[in-house]
Amino acid sequence: MEQLTTTMTETTGRMWRNYAYGWLAYMLLLAVVLQLADPSTHAYNWRGLIPMLWLVPQALVLALHWPLSGWMERRNVSFAARGLIHGVGAPAYAILSYGLPGLIYGWTQPLSFYVWPVLYSMMGYGVIATAFHMIRANDARRRQEVAVQQAHALLVATELNALRSKLNPHFLFNTLHSIIALTRRDPTAAETALFQFSDMLRYVLDTEKTGNDRVTLDDELRFVRDYLELESLRLGPRLKVEWELDANAGGHVLPALSLQPLVENSIKHAFNPHSRPGRLLIRARVNVRTGMLILSVGDDGPGADIGRVRASNGLGLRTVERRLQLEYGTDEGLAIDTSPGGGFVVTMAIPLAANDKEFS
């Protein structure tokens, strides 16, 4: 809003400069026309410019349209009332423009001579009044657009906070459930898992405390590694993790807790229901051509029907997809590739420029 106020102040200052330059150009044009109208004079008739000084008070009077239009805007004066005000003001201004000098200096021409100048002055009145009203209307439109943008940003921020508040308990519940299951079989491993869980919990709390959920990919990958180490205590040799990471991708940023839910989804559906070993492949690369950070998590599990996946009530993937929609305004931030018996791959695309600029 402060930026909008500064912009409007600059716009108003530019308007008044253009207003002054316009009247100066008009006076210069009249001076040239008056000289050309009398070709018999070889020297310029400077005394003929004296009546033109009457244009200065005319310009000042017409400048009152600006506060008048502001008053009409604040009072929400109807279009009909505005037309009535200007319908009276235009002839009053035109008659006074020529009647007042006539009363002061005397009438040098018959009254019929002043008909066209009066009409011309009314036209000038109308042009300037219309211009000021259009500027006011444009300013009002811009204020409304900013208000809509701010309301939309507030709505997006509110929904993002709500999504994060859903995702964090979801992660905490599932992780604690895994530790509890581990406690029954291997108390020593469960103790190790609790220490790892404390580091993971610190990561979650730090993103909430700072109020900025942007983290580097390296930070998110450390968090994912801690999570996988915790899960490996429970799953043992059944969990095989492979990494294909672009060395240039680690410094780029992404929303916190956006990669971990994808990994958790594979753990839940590809490993938990089965006793056989499985492979989890995590990839990260920078696509310079499209300006995207591409992350994918895939498994060789049983897969699923894509229609049933879209219709499911699972929280993790839907929450990540919605966060990407709100953060980056795209419906193509998350892609799912799966089929019965064909494994499950989730690919996430995050714009580089906007993210890195905000993080810095």
The predicted-structure confidence for 124-136, as pLDDT tens digits, reads as follows 899 999 989 888 8
| Lowest-confidence pick of 9-23, 213-227, 306-320, 342-356 | 306-320
Q: For residue 95, what pLDDT is reported? A: 82
The confidence score (pLDDT) of residue 96 equals 81
Q: Which among 293, 295, 230 has a CA at the least distance from the CA of 267?
A: 230
d(CA 215, CA 211): 12
Domain ranges of the chain: 2-147, 186-359
**Band of pLDDT at residue 310, cut at 50, 70 and 90:** confident
Instruction: Provide the pLDDT for residue 348.
Output: 93
Average of per-residue pLDDT values in the chain = 80
Dihedral angle computed from the Cα positions of residues 24, 29, 31 and 36, in that order, rounded to the nearest 10 degrees: 170
pLDDT of amino acid 170: 62
pLDDT band (50, 70, 90) for residue 8: low
- pLDDT tens by residue, 137-165: 888 888 878 777 766 666 666 665 665 56
Query: Which positions ≥6 away from 50 have C-beta within 8 Å?
Result: none
Sorting pLDDT into bands at 50, 70 and 90, what band is 316?
confident
Which one, of 87, 93, 83, lies nearest residue 62 by Cα? Answer: 93
8 Å CB contact between 299 and 348: no
Structure confidence at residue 169 as a pLDDT band (50, 70, 90):
low
SS3 191: helix
* Residue 339 DSSP one-character state: -
Q: Which CATH number fits domain 186-359: 3.30.565.10, 3.10.129.10, 3.30.70.890, 3.40.50.970?
A: 3.30.565.10
- Angle, helix 55-63 to helix 2-37, in steps of 10 degrees: 150
Which range, of 150-154, 174-178, 239-243, 303-307, averages the lowest pLDDT? 150-154
- Residue 108 confidence (pLDDT): 67
Asked whether the predicted pLDDT for residue 166 surpasses 60, the reply is no
Identity of the highest mean pLDDT range in 48-52, 196-200, 305-309: 305-309
**What distance in Å separates the CA atoms of residue 228 and residue 241, rounded to the nearest whole number?**
8
Which pLDDT value is given to residue 22? 87
